[in-house]
Amino acid sequence: MSITCELSNLTSKKAKESNGGENWIKKLLFFFMVLCGLTSLVIVVLMFSRKEETGSCNGEEARVLYRHQNVTRSEIQALVSLFSDSDQVTSFECRKESSPGMWANYGVTCSLNMRLEKQETQSYQDRPWNLNPSGLEHSISSEVRVFDNLEQSLVQHREPENYEEGKDWDLSSYLRNTWWCLLLLGVLVCHKIYVSHSKAPTETKEKVSLQESLAQNQQQQRAQTGCRGAGKWRKNILLLGVIAGVSMSVWWFWDTNEKIILKRRETLENMCEERARVLQDQFNVSLNHVHALSILVSTFHHGKTPSAIDQKTFGEYTERTNFERPLTSGVAYALKVPHSKREQFEKEHGWAIKKMETEDQTLVQDCVPENFDPAPIQDEYAPVIFAQETVSHIVSVDMMSGEEDRENILRARASGKGVLTSPFKLLKSNHLGVVLTFAVYDTNLPPDATDEQRVEATIGYLGASYDMPSLVEKLLHQLASKQTIVVDVYDTTNASGLIKMYGSEIGDISEEHISSLDFGDPSRKHEMHCRFKHKLPIPWTAIISSSLVLIITFLVGYIFHDAIIRIAIVEEDCQKMMELKARAEAADVAKSQFLATVSHEIRTPMNGVLGMLKMLMDTELDAKQMDYAQTAHGSGKDLISLINEVLDQAKIESGRLELENVPFDMRFVLDNVSSLLSGKANEKGIELAVYVSSQVPDVVVGDPSRFRQIITNLVGNSIKFTQDKGHIFISVHLADEVREPLNIEDEVLKQRLALGCSESGETVSGFPAVNALGSWKSFKTVHSSEDHNSDKIKLLVTVEDTGVGIPVDAQGRIFTPFMQADSSTSRTYGGTGIGLSISKRLVELMQGEMGFVSEPGIGSTFSFTGVFGKAETYSSVTKFERFDLAIQEFKGLKALVVDRRNIRAEVTKYHLQRLGIFADIVTSLRMACTYVSKSENLAMILIDKDAWNKKDFDELLTTGKETSTRPPKILLLATSATLVERSEMKSSGLIDEVVIKPLRMSVLICCLQETLVNGKKRQPNRKRINLGHLLREKRILVVDDNLVNRRVAEGALKKYGAIVTCVESGKLALAMLKPPHNFDACFMDLQMPEMDGFEATRRVRDLEREINEKIASGEVSAEMFSKFSSWHVPILAMTADVIQATNEECVKCGMDGYVSKPFEVEALYAAVARFFESG
Amino acid sequence: MDALVAQLQMQFRDYTISLYQQGFLDDQFTELKKLQDEGSPDFVAEVLSLFFEDCVKLIGNMARALDQTGTVDYSQVGASVHQLKGSSSSVGAKRVKGLCVTFKEYCEAKNYEGCVRCLQQVDIEYKTLKTKLQDMFNLEKQIIQAGGIVPQVDIN
């Protein structure tokens, strides 16, 4: 009990836990899904922001390009307007000469270099440059178109770029995704482990066999250690996983940080390069302007006589075109004047050449060139003749006198290109600056002119001063992200001493990018140094993401840790459960053993009690004593049957009950049952009727004793609960018949189904009964047509009664062992309530179902199905050979059944048909008269007592006598009739015989024989066959190796009149038991040396089968083996231990039963009766 | 004469009952006695003598088997015990049967000392039974000689 309690506690606990576990897993999965979703969101957002950045970058570049375009356009417009002003459009070809497309081209190329691939430039260059002079506007518009195209191609190219970037991005995101995948995989694996672990113990549980408790213990221990090992292993995995997670987060941080730094550096580089290029471009553009100016001067000042330019024109022009050179603070033109021509020059211009005052740093406004000293005498001078308004103060100053300027002039005229000075403090301003100088030649020089030639050809110098800081500042203002970046520009011509041209000291010094600048002067080198204004911010992204990973890792780790602990607990519980289960099962086995033993032990003394009581009853007792003895005897019988039932229940519960598979006649079994119970039924005045459908084969294969047990149980119950009225009707049909209700041929079934439609249908006794249809409908086996095995048949048995019925609230527990409808039932009717439970189990063993419908006050109808084998025709059991002769006699006779109730008439008809008698049915005696008058050769008329009617009967008698010479015998069917009644009836001469129902073959045959075969008086049915009678003159072989046992058995059997032969071994028995058999039965000891009882029986059966087959196939004439068509000598086992219940094994090897040793009269009778009763 | 018979019958009844009460015999002996009738007047005596012969033979067998130094063939001993158990239960020699059950257990457990002890006990027991039964038969004979009939002894 305590075990059960504990077990149930544990079970419920486990159930709860398993529930909890499921929930927990669901939660975990949900949590995980949410995590995954979040992560993917974060990744997508990150990628998107990256795209944005690149996009904005491109946009910026596009803007720069547009600006260039605008500049170019406005420049051209300015030139045109100038020339149109000065009416000198004629020399428009200069545009060609100075290749005006150049800067545009250049600028575009530069911008392309900045960002785009060569391909784009090519595509641009491939495009024919429209230089058609016919329309400037046209060329401009074409330019615009080109830019438009460019922009388009830029847009187009953006995508592959993104794609490539995406690739880079993919690699690391792949790694990250792998991490998530691993996490997911881990979760799945753990789930799997959990599931498999929760399953595994049940498997092992199954393996555990109770008999081997020792082995089982070992197994358990092994399992336990295995579990422990698994737990350790899981913990290790978890630790590994957590370590991996932590290292993953560290790596993640490191990787992200690295990426951020790399990105920053890249950005810096890009921005720096961009700035450098822009600066360079701008510078180059203005360089070109200055160059153009020099050519202008050479063309219009020197190329024309008189000169088209004077100081005023120059000043005006330069002022108006100043927007083209936003970087120059001023331009000036100086003439090359050799010393020989100084006088003339000075005279011509009216001023003396002045010396440059480098020391004087007074502001421009205060500066008066007249105050300068005249230039000292030199080989040549370079006095400024034209100057922009802004620098008009330097007119007449000799440029050769300044050191920087002189050097510049010399280099410029030698190289023919623009040259730059190193940065110096500009004249009269506090800014650092450089001076650009171009030489102006008087003749067209060949492209490959030598330096001397150039010097010779030089006639003047054009100079422009650049204010570096303002230049750079202006430029940087135009560019984006000027806030974040700090730019320094250096002159690096002198490698040892960098000269800072522009810059400030602020900014993050740790990160710096240097890009070189080319201002078109190869002798001068410039560099741009860029750095971020602010220090690297704390990498929050990396920290957050890595800490997120860390948190997740720990969270997941914690969850798994929890799970592992839970698994361990569950496993432990499982172990406990298994232990308890084993104990419980052992207890169960012990219980069964105990029950079997106790039952056996009780049975033995009870047999003594019963035997003595019987003996006592045989002595002379007065009525009172007789009553006491009978009561005692009855109680003893009840006790024995109860013990048998308990034993059965125990056997079924322990699954040790196996069904036999032997061919048997169902009708015969039902006859037996009805004859057994007829006494009780008749006592109560209940009509008992048996009907078997004609479709049910004669012989089926199954377990006849269990089938009989079920029927007896149900009918016994019915009798118990039916009071003095009504009927009990047992009917057997094929399940197939019920399934197709439309083409039912069976009359009885038809009426029963009809009963379902109208409540007024008739029953056997006329009392209303519950229709069985309800329970049939619920049977799966009836309606499933799945296994239409040809060798299996499904039978549907129904037992209908008109009893008290089962209360509705008790109907649910009717099949529970030891449960009756209510506690008062046992008080009123007795019984233990175990019978139905056993019956149901037995039906289940027969692969059938049992059900019932019941209405209180009307009755109950129990139905069950069972699967039986179809017997092979030749091995048909001829259990009632003694009836064969009788049946031969009756075959072909005609009979008339007179009965008001059709269904009862059908039952009678069925019994007559079994005897080969053809029967017709009429419902009343009056109708019988007409029938009798018409038909001839009517052998008998069976009249039910209900239809009895004196007046009509007399008429019938006369009709019978009139029509036929041999009037039909008249039999009365009665449910109960005392002997006196019967003899009265018979003696009156009206009827020939009274047949007491229930009808059954043996009774019917007896009666018919008595009436039909007149004069031949037959013994009335033996009420009790005693053992002496059974065994008299029977030849019996006793096989036992134990001399004493042999002798005792011999003595016992001899006492009952048997002729006993003894042999002492299985071998000898085998020799004696060769067909044709000389023995009627054989008692075989099981445990014998050399050949035990089982083996000997098996051999005997083999031999029999061989010969039977031979007979069947006609090899051996049946006559040689006398009258029998098949051989089967009954062999009964003698065994000392009934507890071990070797019954199954006995049946398996072909034995017919067993008797316990030492012999007990009752047991012997029961065993022997089966074989000799019919013989 | 009648008094003698009556006395003898009394004595016989008491003696038989004592045999039952002391556990020498059980119901099976009663059953055995029931089998004896006119057809086989000496049935019980015959069976008993068969039984005692069997005992001598089987005990001899077992003693030989157990006497073997070194390896004792327990299966042989077991077979003999089983035989003896069957015989004793058939005749209703309760004590011998009980001893045989114990003996068999020892034999299955291959307990040498237990076996030897049991063998000795069985030897003593069956001899005791033999003398007791001998006495009983003598009493029966005396009763018959005295012209009386052997009474049916009702146990309990």
Q: Return the pLDDT at A1025.
A: 42
**Nearest-neighbour CA in chain A from B1: distance (Å):** 30
Q: Where in A51-150 does DSSP place strands (E)?
A: none
Helix axis angle for A704-721 and A835-845, nearest 10°, is 150
Residue of B nearest to A1089 (CA): B79
Residue of A nearest to B27 (CA): A608
Q: Return the pLDDT at A480.
A: 64
Find which of B28, B31, B53, B130 to mutate to test the A interface (most A CBs within 10 Å of its CB).
B31
Q: What is the mean pLDDT of residues B128-143?
A: 88
CB contact under 8 A, B89 and A1159: no
DSSP assignment of A1007-1073, as one string?
HHHHHHSTT---PPPPS---HHHHHTT-EEEEE-S-HHHHHHHHHHHHHTT-EEEEESSHHHHHHHT
Dist. CA A591–CA A730, nearest whole Å: 36
Residue of A nearest to B83 (CA): A1042
Give the model confidence (pLDDT) of A1091-1149 as tens digits: 888 888 888 888 888 888 877 776 655 555 454 556 778 888 887 665 455 666 777 77
- Annotated domain spans of chain B: 1-146
Q: Six-digit token pair at A152?
A: 């388009």
CB contact under 8 A, A1044 and B27: no
Dist. CA A935–CA A968, nearest whole Å: 11
CB contact under 8 A, A1158 and B28: yes
Q: Least CB-CB distance to B91: which of A608, A1041, A1044?
A: A1044
How far, CA to CA in Å, does A1085 sit from each of A73, A138, A1091? 130, 130, 10
CB contact under 8 A, B54 and A1042: yes
Give the model confidence (pLDDT) of A901-955 as tens digits: 888 888 888 888 888 888 888 888 888 888 887 777 778 888 887 777 777 777 7
Q: Six-digit token pair at A955?
A: 């008429």
Q: Least CB-CB distance to B83: which of A1042, A1052, A1160?
A: A1042
On the question of pLDDT at B141 being above 70, the answer is: yes
Nearest alpha-carbon partner for A69 in A169, A151, A160: A151
Residues of chain B neighbouring A1044 (CB-CB closer than 8 A): 47, 50-51, 54, 86-87, 90-91
Give the model confidence (pLDDT) of A207-246 as tens digits: 444 344 444 444 445 555 555 666 688 888 889 988 998 9
Dist. CA B68–CA A580, nearest whole Å: 47
Taking the Cβ of residue B56 and every Cβ of chain A, the question of whether any pair is shorter than 8 Å is answered with no
Q: Which residues 85-114 in chain B show a CB within 8 A of chain A?
A: 85-87, 89-92
Residues of chain A neighbouring B83 (CB-CB closer than 8 A): 1041-1042
On the question of pLDDT at A198 being above 60, the answer is: no
**Nearest-neighbour CA in chain A from B89: distance (Å):** 7
Between A883 and B34, where is the model more confident? B34
Q: Percent of chain A beyond pLDDT 70? A: 66
Q: What is the largest CA-CA distance in chain A?
A: 194
Taking the Cβ of residue B155 and every Cβ of chain A, the question of whether any pair is shorter than 8 Å is answered with no
On the question of pLDDT at A317 being above 80, the answer is: yes
Give the list of residues 6+ apart from residue B70 with CB closer than 8 angstroms, or none. none
Q: Return the pLDDT at A576.
A: 94
Q: Six-digit token pair at A5?
A: 């309690």
On the question of pLDDT at A139 being above 50, the answer is: no
Most confident of A671-680, A856-865, A938-947, B35-44: A856-865
Between A1081 and A743, where is the model more confident? A1081
- Annotated domain spans of chain A: 272-358+368-532, 582-657, 659-783+790-820+832-875, 898-1013, 1027-1173
A485: helix, strand or coil: strand
Dist. CA A925–CA A449, nearest whole Å: 159
Give the model confidence (pLDDT) of A469-509 as tens digits: 777 777 777 776 666 777 788 877 776 667 777 776 666 67
Residue of B nearest to A1055 (CA): B35
Is the bond preceding residue A306 a cis peptide, omega within 30 degrees? yes
Q: How many inter-chain contacts (A to B, CB under 8 Å) are there?
A: 60
CB contact under 8 A, A1048 and B40: no
- Label each residue of chain B as H, E or C: CHHHHHHHHHHHHHHHHHHHHCCCECHHHHHHHHHCCCCCCCHHHHHHHHHHHHHHHHHHHHHHHHHCCCCCCHHHHHHHHHHHHHHHHHHCEHHHHHHHHHHHHHHHHCCHHHHHHHHHHHHHHHHHHHHHHHHHHHHHHHHHHCCCCCCCCCCC
CB contact under 8 A, A1045 and B86: yes
Residues of chain A neighbouring B27 (CB-CB closer than 8 A): 608
ipTM above 0.90, yes or no: no
Nearest alpha-carbon partner for B90 in B31, B24, B18: B31
- The dihedral sign for the CA sequence A1163, A1164, A1168, A1169: negative
Q: What is the mean pLDDT of residues A88-93?
A: 41
Q: Which residues does A contribute to its contact with B (CB < 8 Å)?
A: 608, 1041-1045, 1047-1048, 1051-1052, 1054-1055, 1087, 1089, 1136, 1157-1160
On the question of pLDDT at B134 being above 80, the answer is: yes
Task: Classify each residue of A605-642 as buried b or exposed e, where b means 16 or more C-beta atoms within 10 Å of its C-beta.
Answer: ebbbebeebeebeeeeeeeeeeeebeebbeebeeebeb
Q: Return the pLDDT at A572.
A: 93
Dist. CA A1057–CA A1080, nearest whole Å: 13
CATH classification of A898-1013 is 3.40.50.2300, yes or no?
yes
Q: Which fold has domain B1-146?
A: Four Helix Bundle (Hemerythrin (Met), subunit A) (1.20.120)
Residues of chain A neighbouring B82 (CB-CB closer than 8 A): 1087
Which residue's entry shows tokens 């800072």?
A: A500
Q: Least CB-CB distance to B50: which of A608, A1047, A1158?
A: A1047
Q: What is the mean pLDDT of residues A578-602?
A: 81
Q: Return the pLDDT at A108.
A: 39
Q: What is the largest CA-CA distance in chain B?
A: 63
DSSP assignment of A570-629, as one string?
HHHHHHHHHHHHHHHHHHHHHHHHHHHHHHHHHHHHHHHHHHHHHHHHHS---HHHHHHH
CATH number at A1027-1173: 3.40.50.2300
Give the model confidence (pLDDT) of A1003-1026 as tens digits: 787 777 777 765 433 333 333 345
Between A628 and A374, where is the model more confident? A628
Q: Into which CATH architecture does domain A582-657 fall?
A: Orthogonal Bundle (1.10)
Q: Return the pLDDT at A578.
A: 94
Q: Return the pLDDT at B77.
A: 86
**Please, which residues bridge with residue A700 across strands?**
A664, A870
CB contact under 8 A, A1055 and B47: no
Taking the Cβ of residue B28 and every Cβ of chain A, the question of whether any pair is shorter than 8 Å is answered with yes
CB contact under 8 A, A1048 and B39: no
Give the model confidence (pLDDT) of A732-764 as tens digits: 988 877 776 666 667 777 766 665 444 445 677
Give the list of residues 6+ apart from residue A34 with CB closer than 8 angstroms, or none. none
Q: How confident is the model at residue A151 (pLDDT cuts 50, 70, 90)?
A: very low
Residues of chain B neighbouring A1055 (CB-CB closer than 8 A): 34-35, 37, 39
Q: Percent of chain A beyond pLDDT 90? A: 2
Nearest alpha-carbon partner for A1080 in A1115, A1136, A1034: A1034
CB contact under 8 A, A1044 and B82: no
Q: What is the dihedral angle through the alpha carbons of A871, A877, A879, A881, rounded to the nearest 10 degrees?
A: 130
CB contact under 8 A, A1045 and B50: no
Q: Which fold has domain A272-358+368-532?
A: Beta-Lactamase (3.30.450)
On the question of pLDDT at A387 being above 80, the answer is: yes
Q: How far apart are the first and last CA of chain B?
A: 29
CB contact under 8 A, A1041 and B37: no
Residue of B nearest to A1136 (CA): B86
**Nearest-neighbour CA in chain B from A1055: distance (Å):** 6
Q: Least CB-CB distance to B31: which of A1045, A1087, A1158?
A: A1158
Q: Return the pLDDT at A228.
A: 60
Which residue's entry shows tokens 């109770």?
A: A210
Residue pair B147/B5 in contact by the 8 Å Cβ criterion: yes
CB contact under 8 A, A1136 and B89: yes
Dist. CA A248–CA A557, nearest whole Å: 14
How far, CA to CA in Å, does A313 sit from each of A25, A334, A388? 93, 15, 10
User: Whats the size of chain B, residue-wise?
Assistant: 156
Run of H or E including A314: helix A311-320
Q: Return the pLDDT at A449.
A: 74
A328: helix, strand or coil: strand
Nearest alpha-carbon partner for A854 in A714, A688, A760, A732: A714
Give the model confidence (pLDDT) of A405-414 as tens digits: 788 888 888 8
Q: What is the mean pLDDT of residues A39-60?
A: 55
Give the model confidence (pLDDT) of A560-580 as tens digits: 899 889 999 999 999 999 999
On the question of pLDDT at A618 being above 90, the answer is: no
A387 phi, psi to nearest 5 deg: -150, 150
**A898-1013 and A1027-1173: identical CATH topology:** yes
A1096: helix, strand or coil: helix
**Nearest-neighbour CA in chain B from A1044: distance (Å):** 5
Residue pair A876/A968 in contact by the 8 Å Cβ criterion: no
Dist. CA A968–CA B121, nearest whole Å: 80
Q: Into which CATH architecture does domain A659-783+790-820+832-875 fall?
A: 2-Layer Sandwich (3.30)
**Nearest-neighbour CA in chain A from B31: distance (Å):** 8
Q: List the Cα angle A178/A183/A185 in 5-degree steps.
A: 90
Q: How confident is the model at residue A654 (pLDDT cuts 50, 70, 90)?
A: low
Q: How far apart are the first and last CA of chain A?
A: 52
Q: List the Cα angle B2/B5/B11 in 5-degree steps.
A: 140
Q: Return the pLDDT at A143.
A: 43
Find which of A1038, A1042, A1062, A1088 to mutate to test the B interface (most B CBs within 10 Å of its CB).
A1042
